[in-house]
Chain A
């Protein structure tokens, strides 16, 4: 089993829109969903459909994984990369990548996205947070007023 696994050279990931990515096994190590798929297969070449992740997002995730899997990059270079990575993203990208990270079961990338999203809702009003996540309130105005009163200190 171990010998078979190590003989896998290239893994093909197929995104929801049909775009194809060929990556080395060490790149997908953090993607537990993909990894468990590979572990179950005996073949030497592996092709994995990812119907919940779009090509653009998968490209970004792979870029992140490549940077972080690299042993040549210093810790500082990786931090700099993370900073720029978040900077060029819109709120919508972050939420999509969070969902993708959850689907692919990537713990450290998930925590990275969660932190970036938390930074956007820090110090923001309830209305802003609702709008940001597109949460529809199902409280009546009276109920909401009552709840606000209950924890008045949190809504000053």
Chain B
């Protein structure tokens, strides 16, 4: 009998994976990049369409470098769109990572349009070549209203007039993003559930001014551009705050002024210099309330203090009594 002979020939040749439940196979496939994923379609007939329902898709640097070796720009866009046409979802997470020194792709509009029709929860859009090639982020991206995590790197952003907010967004990371006037504020005020916000090396605004009562973690890194005011009207739930800005000892005008009324739950503070700690804890009439509000502080770090700066060191020592729960104090010396 041919059938049983075939089986006997196979011996211990027992498929280790194909008949496992979908969630198990998806658990493996979600770690593969798009090329490896599409590659699984020729493993066997059962595998032909297995990849089209994996919940995560990733077009990373490896994909673009490989494409660049063999294809022209329009061809790369065609490949990407063909993959998306075959894909059935449901899509949970999507990653696009355009390498630096890469040619222009012309399917960004279609790609974002595709994403906006899915129920995507986690979105990472990175343009590492922002210094040579910049893209305007298509406004449909703000229609991905189920997003819980959104990372944007190296795009130009304006907010459409019909923006209804990203009501479920918990984590927003913005790096090297150029905002149209007023766009940053509009974006943040449309995210009422936000718990974690990172703004680093972004431009197009002079003030960071918002009320974010749900915010727990805030990281602002403005080295390279000039933020004049950082104002948090309501930061009652903030537990972790990092503020690193452009520092110039001789030019006080490049320092942002920091207007924060109270940080009742703050546990971790990281500042470039003691200077911010000083303005945080010395704002006229509210000085005492703010100092009191720092009583739950457990970790305090000054990332760029000059150890020759006697005033700074003395100041740091003088504030320690108002932080009774401090466990760790880090003073990092600024090397010139």
Size of B's binding interface in residues, CB under 8 A: 36
**Hey, which chain A residues are within 8 Å of B14, CB to CB?**
134
User: Contact between A119 and B31 (Cβ–Cβ < 8 Å)?
Assistant: yes
Chain A residue at smallest Cβ distance from B82? A151
Complex alpha-carbon distance, A57 and B257, angstroms: 59
In the complex, how many angstroms separate the beta carbon of A88 from the nearest chain B beta carbon? 20
Main secondary structure of the interface of B (DSSP, over half): helix
**Stretch in A34-42, A74-82, A108-116 touching the partner:** A108-116
Complex alpha-carbon distance, A138 and B43, angstroms: 9
**Hey, which chain B residues are within 8 Å of A137, CB to CB?**
42-44
In the complex, how many angstroms separate the beta carbon of B90 from the nearest chain A beta carbon? 18
User: Contact between A123 and B17 (Cβ–Cβ < 8 Å)?
Assistant: no
User: Contact between A151 and B38 (Cβ–Cβ < 8 Å)?
Assistant: yes
B44-68 contacts to A, CB under 8 A, are: 44-45, 47-48, 66-67
User: Contact between B40 and A129 (Cβ–Cβ < 8 Å)?
Assistant: yes
- Tally the A-B contacts, defined by beta carbons under 8 Å: 93
User: Contact between B21 and A133 (Cβ–Cβ < 8 Å)?
Assistant: no
Interface size class of A (residues with CB under 8 A): 20 to 34
In the complex, how many angstroms separate the beta carbon of A125 from the nearest chain B beta carbon? 8
Given contacts A102-B21, A115-B31, A121-B32, contact A139 B39 (CB under 8 A): no
A114-153 contacts to B, CB under 8 A, are: 114-115, 117-119, 121-124, 126, 129-130, 133-139, 144, 147-148, 151, 153
* Interface flag for B79 (CB, 8 Å): yes
26 residue pairs A–B, Cβ–Cβ below 8 Å: A98-B20, A110-B23, A110-B24, A111-B27, A114-B27, A114-B31, A118-B30, A118-B31, A119-B31, A122-B32, A129-B39, A129-B40, A129-B43, A133-B17, A134-B15, A135-B18, A135-B47, A137-B43, A138-B45, A139-B45, A144-B42, A148-B42, A153-B35, A153-B66, A154-B35, A156-B70
Q: Which residues of A contact B (CB under 8 A)?
A: 95, 98-99, 101-102, 110-111, 114-115, 117-119, 121-124, 126, 129-130, 133-139, 144, 147-148, 151, 153-156
- Interface contacts beyond A136-B44, A153-B35, A153-B71: sample of 4 additional A-B pairs, CB < 8 Å, sorted by A: A110-B23, A130-B44, A134-B13, A154-B39
